[in-house]
Structure 1
Amino acid sequence: MKPNRSIPAAAVIPVLTYPDVRRAVAWLEAAFGFAERVRIGADHRAQMRAGEGAIIVADDGSERRAPEPGAGVTHAVMVRVDDANEHCARARAAGARIVMEPTDFEYGERQYQAEDLAGHRWTFSQTLADVEPESWGGITVS
C-alpha cells in the first residue's frame, strides 16, 4: 500500500457515527486511551489511533446514524490491548457500560466488552497464550 498522511495506515478502518464528534473523541481518549490524529472540520470527522489500528469518528448526517438504544447490537469493534483488567477499569471509570467483565477464554484471550457513550459495542482482547485453533474446536484454513 502506498503511504498517505491523510488517511490512517491500517488496512481496515471502522467508521463509527456519533451525535457529537468532539465529545466522542474526548471520551474515547479518556475511556479507551485512543489518540486523535487528524481533525476534519469543527465537528465533522476525526481519525483516531487505536494501538496499531485506527477508527474514524463521523458525525450524524446523510445516511449515517449513531446506534439507537434498544435496537440490538449491529456491530462490534475488537481492539487488542496489553492488560484487559487495567483497560476495563479505565473504561469503567470514564463511564463505559461494561457488558461483559474480563473473562479468560480457551482460545488464549482475556476479553471484556463495553458500550461507549453513543452505544457502540467494543470488545477488548488481551492475549494470554498462543493457542492452536484445533485445541478448542477451530479449524486452521490457511
Structure 2
Amino acid sequence: MTDETPKPQVWPTLRSKDAPALISFLVDAFGFELTASYGDGARVDHAELAWPPGGGIMLGSTRPGDAADAWALTPGQFGAYVVTDDPDGLCARARAAGAEIVTEPHDTEYGSRDFAARDPEGNRWSFGSYRGEPRKRA
C-alpha cells in the first residue's frame, strides 16, 4: 500500500539548540506529528514534522563551529503562520503545554481568527484560520 497523501513542496526549516526537546514541545503543544528523525543521541541531523491538515517543517540541531554546516541558521529566529480550523482550542492546548502566548486569540479585519505563541527557543508561531487568497487560474 502506498501513501497517497499530498506531500508539501515548501519546507520551512529551523535550527535548534535542543532539537529533541523542541520536537517534543512542537508535538505536545501544537500537534505536529514527527515523521522522521535522524541523528546520534541528542544531536538531530534532520527531522521532519508534519502538520496534520497538510504541510510540515524540517529542523535539526545547531552545529556551532562546523565550517561544513551549509545551513547555519540562528536558533530562535524562526517564524511561521500555520493554518488551523480551531485557533481557540489550539491556543488552550499550547498554553497547557507551556507555550508563551504572545497574542491572545482575536478576530482580524480580513476574517481570520488568530493567536501567536513562542516556543521554548524563542521561535514565533502564528496560528489562524486564514487560508490565503484563492489562486488565479492561468
The match for 2:107 among 104, 117, 126 is: 104
The match for 1:14 among 12, 15, 23 is: 12
TM-score of the superposition, structure 1-length normalised?
A: 0.76
Deviations along 1:90-139, one digit per CA (max 9) or x if unpaired, are 00111111110001012110000000011000100124xx99x7xxxxxx
Q: CA deviation at 1:79?
A: 0.5
The match for 1:36 among 34, 42, 57 is: 34
Q: For residue 87 of structure 1, give the secondary structure of its aligned residue in structure 2.
A: helix
Q: Which portions of structure 1, spanning 4 or more consecutive aligned residues, are displaced by more than 6 angstroms?
A: none
Structure 1 unaligned blocks of 5 or more? 68-73, 134-139
Q: Is 1:49 matched up with 2:15?
A: no
TM-score of the superposition, structure 2-length normalised?
A: 0.78
CA distance in 2, matches of 1:64, 1:105: 31
What is aligned with 2:66? none
CA distance in 1, matches of 2:30, 2:78: 18
Q: CA deviation at 1:9?
A: 2.1
CA distance in 1, matches of 2:88, 2:116: 11
CA distance in 1, matches of 2:74, 2:61: 8
Q: CA deviation at 1:20?
A: 1.1
The match for 1:64 among 67, 73, 78 is: 73
CA distance in 2, matches of 1:35, 1:98: 21
**Matching residue's letter, 1:10:** P
CA distance in 2, matches of 1:89, 1:126: 16
Q: Give the paired residue count.
A: 121
The answer to whether the 8 Å contact 1:34/1:48 transfers is yes
Structure 2 unaligned blocks of 5 or more? 64-68
CA distance in 2, matches of 1:18, 1:36: 15
CA RMSD of aligned residues (A): 2.5
Deviations along 1:19-39, one digit per CA (max 9) or x if unpaired, are 111111111100000000011
The answer to whether the 8 Å contact 2:14/2:78 transfers is no
